[in-house]
Chain A
Amino acid sequence: MLAWPYASEGRAQANIGRVPGGMNRTRRFAWEGVNVRYLLVVALSALSSLCSANTGVAFVHGTGNQTDAYNAYWQPTMVNNVRGGLPNPANYVVINCDFTQYMWDSRASGCLAGQLSNFISSKGITRLIVITHSNGGNVMRWIMSNPTYDSRYPNIISKIVRVNALAPSSAGTPLADAVTNGNVFETSLGWLLGYKSDAVKMQQVSWMAQYNSNNLYGTSGRPALPKLFRSVVGTDVDSAIWDSDSYCGGYFENLGLETTQNWLNSCSDGFLNCTSQSAAGSVWFTDKTRMAGAEPLSHNQSRRACFGLDSILRTDMSN
């Protein structure tokens, strides 16, 4: 009854404040008393169910064909610090799938659904928190937007309590457009400039606009997703050689990010515009409002234990 999928807080508050018209003051207080008692019972019930719930966390990587995302994509410090916030820190899974494919491909969302389903059943997970990075948010959003595509999806959706989408490429990136146009020349002229994966093609801005309008939910004007999808938005890149903060996540990577930022707006994480990161669901927070020292999170840093991001996610595991 409490589990309003679209906005649990908003719905509960609407019920608190509802007082039938025409009641006198005495009766109104009586109603408020009922509501307070009701709320207490509900709150205790919710707390009780939270205590008895078996919460797990899944780490969903971005574009790429991962076979060891624990070490290569997230790195152990990030994964271990975050899962340490769970009542049972063993309830975690690091996804390894082929996200060079289109999001609906059996090697992408099909693989993700398989690994999430196995995790849920093997660990008896009743509350699933999903942490995605970059294009992993799109693959997760595909599952949540297309529950009829695969008979495993509804069960996964029913277990999800929220998706914490770190720098999701919800509206694509101009960088994908920049590298993909070569395909036209390859096709028409028989050149070979280098194979661009379907995932990169898919993350072109115009392609994501089409998919957001027709195949995905959660963006402006579209139906909301069945469960909370909230993003962490990286707004800038810090790559000053004298600033030690530039080295979190790898200095060399940040240096490249500053060059690619020319294709992006003034507010970006070096790979994605802030508008893309905040295009779907709701914004949980932007980097400088929560990171230690008000540091920005570059696209590489938003998947690493940089500036306290891991601590924030760890704390979130107990909610």
Chain B
Amino acid sequence: MRKLLLVALLSAACAAQAGNDSRLSVRNMDLVSSARLVNIPVPAGQFERKAVSFSYALNPQNTLSASTPYTAESREFWMQTDGNELSKGLMIDTTAPGALIRISPAVGATAISPGNLKMLRNGKAIDNAQAFSQQANTEQLQKAGMDVGNGTAIVKIADGLGGGRFQLMVPKASGRYLVHVFEPNSDVTLQAKADRQNYLAGDQLVVNASLGRNEKALPGTEISGFLMSPSGKTYDMGFKYENGSLRATSKLPDEVVQQPGLWEVQVLAGASDGNLRIQRDARTVISIAQPTAKLSGEFRFDPQALSFSMPIQVGSQGRYELSGTLFATGRDGVSRPVAQAAMANWFKQGKGLLNLNFDRANLPAGYGAPFELKFVELKDQTRMTQLESRESAARVGTRR
């Protein structure tokens, strides 16, 4: 009887929400599609066509938080060279003891064996046993799970030699090579960070980068960069000093990419330290979505079923998923995550509807209204992109 009364009261409390469309809240860092929708083909691949819904309980004691962009930190750089330069001695400047050098041959170039490498300093050869504390060939690296190309070798400069300028010589090298220098012990790092994780085509991308020693910026730093799409197409990014830090601001391209994968932000930095050249390369990734669908911005809440319905507008045929987290209020008045729900379906161009059915059975004892719908995301499952997000989408119901 008491249970029935509780349900009745709950229903009454939520009546203001039930049956009426409400607007989703929007916060500053939300991904909101206000642009026109595009009609692009379905990419190659096998995709589910049936509607699928799923929900499950969450432990209210587990804290959820909004995602933050990844900060790339690099102690490495890359160089291109050829057999001519390597046979004379390739100059490599390091900033700390124990640098690792990997040489990878391009197609047609002579394979590298660690035993064929020679290290020089100030023009004088150093015996290999003293020059390198570790050596590994292609077979050893591949068996260890490092998927290097054939003919690749890695050597580690012995700690006792310290840092500074070295010449790496490969007497019988021919063809083109890629040299990768990694300095795990260096205090010189390049940091790069995009301002978001997910963008829509045409949005503005801001990347901040800093080359520093022990986090103190190195004077005279020059930074360049580019954006590389999953198809391999590159777009230059210009870095400028803004308020004391190096920043690139770019309008994202409208390129429609058929290949899955993320877009890479490549940042290349250089500075001088006396006669030595300091180099670092860093990269981070972002997702750029074509606006293939969007939320209408409205929702309808069914308090009995703990269900949210959201209309969507579809520009491109495909499979779209809506997901979100339900927060409920505990006896102590604190709102905590209690359930996760998602629904996906195949839609043609036009209007559609997706529901988040949280299921009352997933509601822990002692938890109830007011409810909050958080971390709502609309995804294009056929193109693996995020189209919309709302960190705090809605608050419904009143405290019982």
Binding site for B on A (CB under 8 A): 4-7, 10-11, 63, 102, 104-106, 110, 146-151, 153-154, 157, 175-176, 178-179, 181-182, 184-185, 187-189, 191-194, 196-198, 200-201, 204, 206-207, 209-210, 213-215, 217, 221-224, 226, 250, 252-253, 255-260, 262-263, 270-271, 299
Contacts and interface: CB of A to CB of B under 8 A. Distances in A.
Contacts of A150: 48, 52
Contacts, number: 195
A122 to B, nearest CB: 22
Interface stretch (B7-15, B102-110, B237-245): B102-110
A282 to B, nearest CB: 11
B234 A187 contact: yes
Contacts of B154: 259
B52 A259 contact: no
A206 B284 contact: yes
Given A154-B54, A207-B285, A179 B148 contact: yes
Interface of B: 45-46, 48, 50, 52-54, 56-59, 62-68, 70, 72, 76, 78, 80, 100, 102, 104-107, 134-136, 139-150, 154, 156, 176, 178, 180, 182, 184, 197-198, 228, 232, 234, 260-262, 264, 266, 281, 283-287, 321, 323, 325, 337, 340, 342-344, 375, 377, 381, 384, 386
Nearest to A256: B144
Contacts of B377: 214
Given A149-B381, A182-B149, A210 B262 contact: yes
A198 B147 CA distance: 12
B56 A226 contact: yes
A194 B325 CA distance: 43
Contacts of B147: 176, 179, 194, 196-197, 200
B121 to A, nearest CB: 21
21 contacts: A105-B45, A146-B321, A148-B342, A150-B52, A175-B146, A182-B149, A193-B105, A193-B106, A193-B178, A194-B150, A210-B197, A210-B262, A210-B286, A214-B198, A217-B340, A221-B67, A224-B58, A226-B56, A226-B340, A256-B136, A256-B146
A253 to B, nearest CB: 5
A182 B156 contact: no
A175 B52 contact: no
Contact of B228 (A110, A148, A187, A194): A187
A41 B141 CA distance: 56
A223 B55 CA distance: 12
A207 B342 CA distance: 23
Contacts of B144: 253, 255-257, 259-260, 270-271, 299
Contacts of A102: 260-261
B261 A198 contact: yes
A206 B72 contact: yes
Contacts of B62: 6, 224
Contact of A5 (B56, B105, B284, B375): B56
B54 A181 contact: no
Max chain B CB contacts within 10 Å: which of A184, A185, A201? A184
